[in-house]
Structure 1
Amino acid sequence: MKFIVAKNEHVDRMCEITDQAKRQLKGLGLDQWQKGYPSREVWLDDVKKGCTYLAVEEGEILGIFAFQTTPDVSYYEIDGKWLTDGEYASMHRVCVADESKGKGVAGKMFSYGFEMAEKSGFKAVRIDTHPGNLPMQRALEKAGFVRCGTIKLAEGPETGDERIAFEKIL
């Protein structure tokens, strides 16, 4: 498996994978990603910024994640406590294609994110997920993330929604 920066020609497949994830979340009875986010426009903006990465094997896109090196406004306030007080990288919009689930793709994406963060001089990576998204919570804990508390999303269609915040010290 290799990782590449997403380009415009990948957006259709990225949207397909996102739609699969939205269906799975809806099937779990969750409102996460049910309000039009992430959308094609979000992915196109990410492509323009060069912040989204694809897990690829034999030319097939297996998974997607956004990697952010600027502070996340949703992380300014936490009901709980972050493990670190300094600068951090964050990962968002993590999803794996249905046909690639259970094959360790998410874990490899997290590991790649950790590598990128370390190379950029960060000592920690933060991420959040819906309180009911137990599959993602298990994947995060398996990757070494520690539950730090809850945050409220500060922007986008899900503004005000509560999320569980995680951090991993590198």
Structure 2
Amino acid sequence: MEFRKSVKSDIPEIMGIIKQAQDYFKEKNIDQWQNGYPNEEVINNDIENEESYVMIKDDKIVATTVISFKEESCYENIIDGKWLTNGDYGVIHRIAVGKNYKGLGLSHKIIKYAEKICLEKGVPSIKVDTHEDNIPMQGLLKKNGFEYCGIVYLEDGGKRVAFEKNFGTEV
């Protein structure tokens, strides 16, 4: 399996995987990604910002994510808890795996890849937020050493549970 930065010609395949994730959330009654987000404009911006990545298996895109190093304004106000660190951090957004590739540990590989990029950049932690009903994602984060930190609210008012993994060395 190979990771690479996404390019604009990947957008149709990325959107296909996002649509599968939206359908999965709807089927599981998880009110995440049910309002037309993320859409092609969002994915296009991710690519232009060089934050979008795809996972390739057998010459096919099988998963997508965003790994960002921009500060998240909604992370400034965390409720009922606190972040593990206050310094630089990476953020993982929009992990989605194609439905035919679920159960193969690809989300775990995405997180490990994000950690590798953080370490290469000298960034000591990763922060992630997810919907409170997205129990599979919360389990994935916990299995990968992330700690629950509290609640954050997105710009649109959406409530999210927040997690962070600290690599143990402040840079």
TM-score range (shorter-chain normalised) is over 0.9
**1:153 CA displacement:** 0.6
Aligned-residue offset at 1:10: 0.6
Deviation at 1:62, TM superposition (A): 1.4
Aligned length: 166
Which one-letter code corresponds to 2:47 in the other structure? V
Residues 124-143 of structure 1 mapped to structure 2, 5 A cutoff:
124-143=125-144
Q: Equivalent residue for 1:82?
A: 83
The Cα of 1:85 is off from its aligned counterpart by 1.1
Query: Structure 2: which 5+ runs fail to align?
Result: none
Equivalent residue number for residue 66 of structure 2: 66
- After superposition, the CA RMSD in angstroms is 0.8
1:46-125 equivalences in 2 (<5 Å)? 46-79=46-79, 80-125=81-126
Could you tell me which residue of structure 2 aligns to residue 27 of structure 1? 27
Deviations 1:54-91 (A, max 9, x none): 11112111111101111011111101110111111101
Aligned identity (percent) is: 34
Partners of 2:14 and 2:120 in 1: CA distance: 26
Give 1:36's aligned amino acid: G
After the TM superposition, list the runs of 4 or more consecutive aligned residues in structure 1 that deviate by more than 4 angstroms.
Answer: none
Q: Note the C-alpha offset of 1:27.
A: 1.1
SS of structure 1 residue aligned to 2:150:
strand
Q: Deviation per CA, 1:7-33, whole angstroms, max 9, x where unpaired?
A: 011100000000000011111112210
Alignment gaps of 5+ in structure 1: none
What is the deviation of 1:44?
0.9
Normalization by structure 1: what TM-score? Answer: 0.95
Conserved? CA contact 2:152–2:162, under 8 Å: yes
| TM-score, scaled relative to structure 2 | 0.95
The 5 Å alignment of 1:6-17 reads 6-17=6-17
* Code of the aligned partner of 1:39: N
Residue by residue over 1:124-153, the C-alpha shift from the partner in whole angstroms, topping out at 9 and shown as x without a partner, is 000010000011111111111111111001
CA distance in 2 between counterparts of 1:151 and 1:25 reads: 20
The 2-side partners of 1:61 and 1:166 are apart by 27
AA aligned opposite 1:101: K
| CA distance in structure 2 between the partners assigned to 1:133 and 1:101 by the alignment | 15
1:2 and 1:45 map into 2 onto residues whose CA distance is 22
